[in-house]
Amino acid sequence: MSENDPIQGPTAAPGHHAGPGHERTDADLRKVLMFGVGLAAIILAACFAMWITFAYLNAHQPPTGPPPSPLASGRRLPPEPRLQVSEAEDLGKVVADEDKQLSTYGWVDKDGGIAHIPIERAMDLVLVRGIPGGTNEPPKSKAPGS
């Protein structure tokens, strides 16, 4: 074995054990600095190339202008059938129609003699007369003194 074995490092004198050691020489400062300068030069060259590329592409881009406003063309309606335009307004109309039906008198079938009456009046009549065709009877009032 040679005195400076590249795998095991320097060999110890006979009878002495060679323990962990350190490099006997420093890294070559000139090579480290040249690597750093070369790396910086490559990074700067890449940045310059990107700047040139973006400047070229920006100069040759067709003019587009700002996008048109969605409100510029007015309100376009969807194709038929249109289901609902204003939910709140439609619901208000339905509720108003139902309230009118429940609070007024009117004909359902004039030829057949079928009419509708206000709900309050219908409940009063059910209390007095009972449900037509039902098994319940109107409550019997007790005369005072019976």
Spell out the residues 6+ positions from residue 10 whose beta carbon is closer than 8 angstroms to its own. 3, 4, 18, 21, 24
Return the structure tokens found at 127.
């209390």
Residue 21 or 45, more confident: 45
High-pLDDT (> 70) share of the chain, %: 76
Q: Which residue(s) pair with 107 in the sheet? A: 115
Confidence of residue 53 (pLDDT cuts 50, 70, 90): very high
Across residues 78-85, what is the average pLDDT? 79
> Whole-model pTM above 0.85?
no
Query: How many whole angstroms separate alpha carbon 29 and alpha carbon 48?
Result: 29
Across residues 26-49, what is the average pLDDT? 95
Across residues 95-120, what is the average pLDDT? 91
Backbone angles phi, psi at 53, to 5 degrees: -60, -45
Is it the case that residue 95 has pLDDT exceeding 60? yes
Q: Which residue(s) pair with 5 in the sheet? A: 9
Identify the weakest region by mean pLDDT among 44-53, 89-98, 129-138: 129-138
Beta-sheet strands, E only, within 1-146: 4-5, 9-10, 106-109, 114-116
Confidence of residue 144 (pLDDT cuts 50, 70, 90): low
